[in-house]
């Protein structure tokens, strides 16, 4: 077996030496064959953990001493194996003694990886979390994410781009092709190519997209290169400082900058990077050609053979199993109509996956009637539209959900919970989120979006409380264009969705007319950029039930528009700041006039004035605050009691609010509250003792709040509590003895509570407890009680470390 180890590392070298010795000895020392084979299997099973531990240790610059114990075990093991080879088959005493020593070595390795390694990896992953939440990482990464696992038709373009990049005379290249041809995939594959990584010391990857913030891009490059950023006076100043920084950097080696997805409206951006630096090269991907910037490489469409390969990979099960396989002629006909566009091939292919032959024939007929679909982006949209037409009549709601996705900015992660809230009110989907989540998965399966479910959502989700707080949706910009294109086919007055994307203070003509049209849209989305002055015009939106405000402000105030006062039917408000820093949200008094408002979601805003006006949100049922600042100040300075302000609030979600030190005491008087979720608030040290007054609480989540050291004794009064989640509360040592009074508790999530050392005997009173999701060490604490809780199941999910949630 060829082990994939980190070359030259002490740990990797010692491990590989031991493994080789064991394999050799098992072939020669037959008297220990069974013991050595078992040890060999153990070494194979722990090899991935060895690699992960070495990787985290190097990246986080941990002291090497923490690995010395493992290294010594491996060295002693190698010595033992060599001694075994010298034991005679006739010496039964030595055979018995050394067989026991091999068994002890196997046990030592298993014990280390089951106990001590978990503490090392937990500390490492916690440090990763802290680093990623720091300012340095708030600007995002400049590393290209992995390209798709399955790719075709890119070998020749990759070879040509490498040839050009490795040529001294060519410093700027534009990869140009219509949308959906695989430009981004090619760029990512290039960044991960081994020869490219060896040639360039640094590779920086930035997505530009339609609306570009040049200063933001330059700030990101500074942070990524560990350079201190001072305030830039202007774009020119930022460009000048970047040039100076790059000149310093190239002294250590070559640099490649990839500017991905540059739109025609941002064509001036690449020109800002035309530095005369010998070891600095720029690669741009765009739908347009920029002849004044550099040489152009036109990415061609897929050949017929590659197109068929890509299509079949999406449309036909890999094992060839299907109730009815399409004929070769039918496959070839559909592939020809897609004309080699990778995105069209994938989307149409996924829509036909495991569908009856009749659906295939219908699709081919529609594509044939559409004539050419690749001559322009409009025709590509027609091709993409066929994926929606493939939905059954019973999936009309699924089509509506897809159309709603166009309400969010391009190239941004869409929180799954925001979609769930919106769909619950707009489409009357269940408020528990099961049908909404099902729709997300269906759209993902049809390749109409990418749903990324992180570790906590995948492993810790439960049947009672569908927690998708850390799940998000990504959508290809062409698919977003398709949704917007479809929405705009009706006049302003009749549109179901009114999507407004503002650049600066330039408003659409219909918005500035003296007599504005009265819109019947139920969903309204307004996106603004950093240049928007927050000077709102009036709008007539009497039927709007959901309002999405997307803005990009840094250290400025963002005012809720006055026209909201007339939105009598508004049920859902989603406000998201996509700027680098938190912006203050103002004009909250408007919310007091919205009598039907049920759900509010605020992200990356400061809310110190939320409660300074005597607003009453009488029908508000859910409040979500994500990366918000000054929550405590907002409610502490309230001019009205919190129960009077939020008399019917049933759910509170507080996530990544880093300045939250304590939960406002007034929250404990919200007697209608069913769910309280606080996660990733790393300054929160405790819950208020008054939490026991929340007698209707069914779900309490205090997840990844690393300073919380105990739960209040009063929580024994939460007799309706069904789900308790303390995952990632690293400082909790013991549970309050009153926990046994939670007679309705059905699920207890307590993973990554590494200091928890005891459980009170009262846990035997948890007669309705069905599942405990925990780590192996915590499971041992429960095992002595399981005979008294016959319905209890202990679940120890596999720990999967990834950064998908970013």
Alpha helices in 602-695 (DSSP H): 631-636, 642-645
Per the model's pLDDT, the better-predicted residue between 463 and 8 turns out to be 463
| Residue range 317-348, pLDDT digits in tens | 776 655 567 888 999 998 887 778 888 888 78
DSSP 308: H
| Residue range 233-251, pLDDT digits in tens | 888 998 898 899 899 888 8
d(CA 20, CA 16): 6
Which residue from 68, 70, 57, 43 is spatially nearest to 6, judged by alpha carbons? 57
The average confidence (pLDDT) of the chain is 82
- 369 pLDDT band (50/70/90 cuts)? low
d(CA 770, CA 228): 52
pLDDT at 58: 54
In a domain, 82, yes or no: yes
Per the model's pLDDT, the better-predicted residue between 806 and 474 turns out to be 474
| Structure-block tokens of residue 440 | 């997300």
In a domain, 806, yes or no: yes
Query: Is 275 found in the same domain as 182?
Result: yes
- 62 pLDDT band (50/70/90 cuts)? low
Query: Is 791 found in the same domain as 675?
Result: yes
- 518 pLDDT band (50/70/90 cuts)? confident
Which residue from 294, 253, 297, 257 is spatially nearest to 170, judged by alpha carbons? 294
Answer whether residue 131 shows pLDDT above 50: no
Answer whether residue 806 shows pLDDT above 50: no
Cross-strand pairs, 110: none
Per the model's pLDDT, the better-predicted residue between 573 and 132 turns out to be 573
Tokens 């300074």 identify what position?
Answer: 612
Instruction: Give, in degrees to the nearest 5, the angle at Cα 104 between 101 and 108.
Output: 140
d(CA 353, CA 677): 39
d(CA 324, CA 329): 14
| Residue range 759-795, pLDDT digits in tens | 999 999 999 999 999 999 999 999 989 889 989 999 9
HSE value, Cβ hemisphere, 13 Å, CA-based, for 525? 20
Per the model's pLDDT, the better-predicted residue between 296 and 49 turns out to be 296
* Exposure string for 6-18, b = 16+ CB within 10 A, e = fewer: beebebbebbbeb
Query: Is 806 found in the same domain as 665?
Result: yes
In a domain, 459, yes or no: no
d(CA 285, CA 206): 11
Question: Considering 100, 133, 166, which residue would you say is the last residue of a domain?
Answer: 133
Residues contacting residue 17 through CB under 8 Å, at least 6 positions apart: 74, 78
pLDDT at 134: 44
- 736 pLDDT band (50/70/90 cuts)? very high
In a domain, 732, yes or no: yes
Query: Is 163 found in the same domain as 271?
Result: yes
SS (H, E, C) 713-766: HHHHHCCCCCEEECCCCCCCCECCHHHHHCCCCCEEECCCCCCCCECCHHHHHC
Query: Is 746 found in the same domain as 711?
Result: yes
Number of domains, the chain:
3
Answer whether residue 137 shows pLDDT above 50: no
pLDDT at 760: 93
pLDDT at 229: 64
| Residue range 489-502, pLDDT digits in tens | 888 888 999 998 88
Answer whether residue 649 shows pLDDT above 90: yes
Cβ–Cβ under 8 Å, residues 442 and 381? no
Query: Is 682 found in the same domain as 765?
Result: yes
- 665 pLDDT band (50/70/90 cuts)? confident
CA distances from 350 to 6, 181, 354, 387, 447 (A): 39, 17, 9, 8, 6
In what side-by-side order are the strands of the sheet with 202-209?
A: 202-209, 255-262, 280-286, 172-176, 295-298
Query: Is 685 found in the same domain as 735?
Result: yes
| Structure-block tokens of residue 101 | 């020593």
Per the model's pLDDT, the better-predicted residue between 461 and 603 turns out to be 603
Per the model's pLDDT, the better-predicted residue between 230 and 127 turns out to be 230
Residues contacting residue 186 through CB under 8 Å, at least 6 positions apart: 154, 157, 158, 161, 175, 285, 299
Answer whether residue 271 shows pLDDT above 80: yes
pLDDT at 799: 64
In a domain, 643, yes or no: no
- 547 pLDDT band (50/70/90 cuts)? very high
Instruction: Identify the CATH number of the domain in which residue 702 sits.
Output: 3.80.10.10
Instruction: Identify the CATH number of the domain in which residue 217 sits.
Output: 3.40.50.300
CA distances from 230 to 142, 217, 222, 269 (A): 19, 14, 10, 21
Strands 472-474 and 450-452, bridge-based pairing: antiparallel
Query: Is 120 found in the same domain as 206?
Result: no
Q: How far is CA 685 from its chain centroid?
A: 27
Cβ–Cβ under 8 Å, residues 366 and 330? no
Query: Is 192 found in the same domain as 128?
Result: no
Tokens 């496959």 identify what position?
Answer: 331
Full residue range of the structural domain in which residue 103 is found: 10-133
In a domain, 774, yes or no: yes
pLDDT at 136: 40
pLDDT at 320: 60
d(CA 488, CA 634): 40
Cβ–Cβ under 8 Å, residues 579 and 455? no
| Residue range 76-127, pLDDT digits in tens | 888 887 888 777 777 767 777 878 888 888 888 777 776 666 666 555 555 5
Any idea which of 240-254, 297-311, 451-465, 478-492 has the lowest mean pLDDT? 451-465
| Residue range 157-182, pLDDT digits in tens | 999 999 999 988 788 999 988 777 88
DSSP 18: H
Q: How far is CA 12 from its chain centroid?
A: 31
Query: Is 213 found in the same domain as 109?
Result: no
Per the model's pLDDT, the better-predicted residue between 464 and 391 turns out to be 391
Which residue from 148, 176, 183 is spatially nearest to 313, judged by alpha carbons? 148
In a domain, 606, yes or no: no
pLDDT at 432: 63
Query: Is 262 found in the same domain as 202?
Result: yes
Query: Is 179 found in the same domain as 94?
Result: no
């Amino acid at each position: 077996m060829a082990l994939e180890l980190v070359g030259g590392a002490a740990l990797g070298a010692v491990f590989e030496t031991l493994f080789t010795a064991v394999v050799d000895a098992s072939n020669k020392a037959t008297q220990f064959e069974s013991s050595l084979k078992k040890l060999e299997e153990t070494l194979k099973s722990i090899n991935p953990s060895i690699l992960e531990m070495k990787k985290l240790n190097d990246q986080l610059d941990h002291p090497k001493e923490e690995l010395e114990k493992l290294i010594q075990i491996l060295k002693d093991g190698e010595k033992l194996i060599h001694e075994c080879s010298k034991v005679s088959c006739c010496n039964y005493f030595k055979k018995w003694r050394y067989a026991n020593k091999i068994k002890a070595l196997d046990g030592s390795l298993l014990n280390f990886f089951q106990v001590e390694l978990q503490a090392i990896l937990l500390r490492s992953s916690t440090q990763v979390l802290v680093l990623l939440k720091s300012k340095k990482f708030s600007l995002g990464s400049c590393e290209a994410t992995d390209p798709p696992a399955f790719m075709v038709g890119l070998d020749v373009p990759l070879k040509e781009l490498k040839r050009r990049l490795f040529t001294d005379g060519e410093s700027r290249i534009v990869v140009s092709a219509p949308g959906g041809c695989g430009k981004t995939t090619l760029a990512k594959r290039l960044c991960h190519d081994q020869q490219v990584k060896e040639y360039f010391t640094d590779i920086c990857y930035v997505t530009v997209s339609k609306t570009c913030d040049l200063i933001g891009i330059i700030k990101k490059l500074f942070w990524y290169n560990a350079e201190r950023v001072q305030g830039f006076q202007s774009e020119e100043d930022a460009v000048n400082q970047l040039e100076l920084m790059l000149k310093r950097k190239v002294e250590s080696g070559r640099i490649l900058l990839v500017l991905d997805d540059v739109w025609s409206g941002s064509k001036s951006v690449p020109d800002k990077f035309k530095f005369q630096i010998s070891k600095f090269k720029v690669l741009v991907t765009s739908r347009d050609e920029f002849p004044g910037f550099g040489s152009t490489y036109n990415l061609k469409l897929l050949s017929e053979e590659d197109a068929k390969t890509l299509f079949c990979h999406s449309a036909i099960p890999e094992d060839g199993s299907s109730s009815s396989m399409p004929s070769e002629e039918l496959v070839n006909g559909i592939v020809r109509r897609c004309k080699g566009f990778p995105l069209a091939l994938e989307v149409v292919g996924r829509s036909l996956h495991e569908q009856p032959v009749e659906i295939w024939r219908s699709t081919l007929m529609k594509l044939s009637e559409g004539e050419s679909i690749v001559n322009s982006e409009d025709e590509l949209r027609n091709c993409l539209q066929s994926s929606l037409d493939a939905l059954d009549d019973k999936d009309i709601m699924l089509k509506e959900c897809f159309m709603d996705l166009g309400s969010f900015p391009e190239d941004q992660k869409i929180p799954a919970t925001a979609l769930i809230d919106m769909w619950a009110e707009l489409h009357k989907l269940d408020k528990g989120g099961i049908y909404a989540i099902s729709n997300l998965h269906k759209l993902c399966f049809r390749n109409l979006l990418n749903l990324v479910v992180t570790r906590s959502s995948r492993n810790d989700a439960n049947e009672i409380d569908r927690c998708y707080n850390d799940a998000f949706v990504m959508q290809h910009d062409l698919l977003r264009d398709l949704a917007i294109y479809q929405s705009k086919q009706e006049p302003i007055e009749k549109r179901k969705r009114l999507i407004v994307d503002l650049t600066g203070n330039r408003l659409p003509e219909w918005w500035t007319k003296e007599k504005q049209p009265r819109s019947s849209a139920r969903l309204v989305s307004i996106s603004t950029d950093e240049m928007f002055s927050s000077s709102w015009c009036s709008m007539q939106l009497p039927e709007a039930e959901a309002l999405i405000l997307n803005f990009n402000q840094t250290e400025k105030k963002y005012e809720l528009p006055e026209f909201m006062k007339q939105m009598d039917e508004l049920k859902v408000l989603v406000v998201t700041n996509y700027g680098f820093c938190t912006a203050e949200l103002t004009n909250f008094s408007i919310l007091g006039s919205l009598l039907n408002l049920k759900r509010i979601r605020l992200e990356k805003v400061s809310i110190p004035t939320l409660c300074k006006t005597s607003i009453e949100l009488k029908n508000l049922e859910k409040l979500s605050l994500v990366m918000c600042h000054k929550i405590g100040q907002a409610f502490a300075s309230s001019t009205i009691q919190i129960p009077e302000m939020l008399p019917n609030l049933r759910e509170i979600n507080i996530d990544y609010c880093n300045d939250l030190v304590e939960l406002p005491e007034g929250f404990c008087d919200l007697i209608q509250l069913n769910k309280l979720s606080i996660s990733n608030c790393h300054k929160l040290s405790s819950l208020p003792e008054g939490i026991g007054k929340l007698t209707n609480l069914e779900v309490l989540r205090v997840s990844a709040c690393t300073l919380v050291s105990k739960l209040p004794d009063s929580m024994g009064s939460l007799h309706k509590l069904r789900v308790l989640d303390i995952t990632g509360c690293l400082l909790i040592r013991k549970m309050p003895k009153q926990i046994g009074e939670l007679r309705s508790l059905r699920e207890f999530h307590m993973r990554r509570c590494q200091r928890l050392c005891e459980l009170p005997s009262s846990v035997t009173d948890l007669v309705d407890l069905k599942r405990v999701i925990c780590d192996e060490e915590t499971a041992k604490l429960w095992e002595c009680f399981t005979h008294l809780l016959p319905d209890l199941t202990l679940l120890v999910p596999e720990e999967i470390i990834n950064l998908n949630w970013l």
